Structure 1
Amino acid sequence: MKKIILGMSALCMVAFTSCKEDAASKVNSENVAVAAERDANAGDFPVMELDKTVHDFGTIENGTPVETIFKYKNTGNSMLVVSNIKSTCGCTVPSNYTKEVAPGQTGQFTVKFNGKGNGKVSKSLTMTTNTEKGTEIVKITAMVNNPDAANKAAVQKNPVSTTTRTSTKPGHEGHNHD
């Protein structure tokens, strides 16, 4: 039994030592250098610094289109890439955004809001980036003055009744007892 175990051990040792030589000869030193550089830069994300994270349009009339510009600077050491900007609804449209920003440079995008609504309105825009967080969020707000919506709400809250009450006592159907 000992001879079998000793023989298997020797066979395994020969097999493992022969694999090491083959594996080492297959490693491309150029790939090792590229991987080492990649690993050294792995934690070196671009850093996005926004000029503002919230823009308040103040009080606007319902249906008045407004727009603003958000600016951002790459304060990191690698290229900043903005791959997408999405809004929470179709009434807020981001456009003309700078997709690539070199270290130390700035980019920007425009946000157009159609000014629809009533009262305090807040919309978020999500920027998809190659920063460490992966997304950056900015917001726009406005106080939308909508007299039509205010009047409609007042009517719904206090409707004027035009119906006539009738008695539910037997024998008094259809008689008004006001």
Structure 2
Amino acid sequence: MKKITLVLTSLFVAAIVNAQTTTATTPAVSTQITPKADIAKVLEFKEENHDFGKIPYGKPVEFDVAIKNISSEPIKIENVKVGCGCTTPKYEQGKTYAPGETFKVTLGFSGYAEGAFEKYVDIFFNNGLTKQIKFHGTSYKVETPAPANTSIQKMKTSSK
């Protein structure tokens, strides 16, 4: 038992001594941070927060987000991510939009949310640009008509 303890202690000490003398081979991490481009200098959004107001429960609605390329470089939509399955985006993925060109992303909502709702959509462009669009509103259930008058049915069967 003493021999095993002595061998393990020797290996441990050798590992520590070796670790102290070995130089690091990983490159130094740069502390310089590259500034992220300001999306307001590249794209102009006509509506970033859309209010649907009151909509009937289960009635699908849509709105268009108009986007204008105000930069001197072409831009393209790489992806549009929605928070849930009740929101559907329509856009031309990968299409390049020239400087000065206006394009749109259509956002649809299924209407299957009872009461107030608030949804967020993230639009990803090339060059690492991202924009979050919000829409909200309130859905209401349409009242069903008055129940059928069962008295009439009883009168029909009793008069026979």
Superposition TM-score tier, normalisation by shorter sequence: 0.5 to 0.7
Alpha-carbon separation, structure 2, partners of 1:103 and 1:125: 24
Alpha-carbon separation, structure 2, partners of 1:129 and 1:85: 9
Counting only pairs closer than 5 Å after superposition, residues 11-26 of structure 1 correspond to structure 2 as none
Pairing 1:123–2:119 present: yes
Deviations 1:55-87 (A, max 9, x none): 111001110111111110000110111101111
Which structure carries more helix by proportion? 1
Deviation at 1:114, TM superposition (A): 0.5
Relative distance call for 1:96 and 1:129 in structure 2 (3 A) is closer
Alpha-carbon separation, structure 2, partners of 1:60 and 1:138: 19
Pairing 1:57–2:57 present: no
Residue 117 of structure 1 aligns with an amino acid whose one-letter code is: A
Partner of 1:134: 129
Residue 42 of structure 2 aligns with an amino acid whose one-letter code is: V
Deviations 1:79-121 (A, max 9, x none): 1111011111110000134632111111101111100112210
Give the ranges of 4+ consecutive aligned residues of structure 1 lying more than 2 Å apart after TM superposition: 43-46, 96-99
Residue 109 of structure 1 aligns with an amino acid whose one-letter code is: V
2:65 to 59, 64, 70: 70
- Mark the runs of 5 or more structure 1 residues left unpaired by the alignment: 1-42, 149-178
Alpha-carbon separation, structure 2, partners of 1:122 and 1:44: 26
Partner of 2:86: 91
Alpha-carbon separation, structure 1, partners of 2:134 and 2:121: 6
Q: TM-score, normalised by structure 1?
A: 0.53
Identity percentage over the alignment? 32
Relative distance call for 1:128 and 1:44 in structure 2 (3 A) is closer
The higher radius of gyration belongs to: 1
- Mark the runs of 5 or more structure 2 residues left unpaired by the alignment: 1-36, 144-160
Partner of 1:48: 43
Deviation at 1:44, TM superposition (A): 10
Deviation at 1:147, TM superposition (A): 6.7
Partner of 2:103: 107
Relative distance call for 1:114 and 1:44 in structure 2 (3 A) is closer
Residue 83 of structure 2 aligns with an amino acid whose one-letter code is: T
Q: TM-score, normalised by structure 2?
A: 0.59
Q: Which structure would you say has the larger RCO, counting Cα contacts within 8 Å and 6 or more residues apart?
A: 2
Alpha-carbon separation, structure 2, partners of 1:97 and 1:142: 26
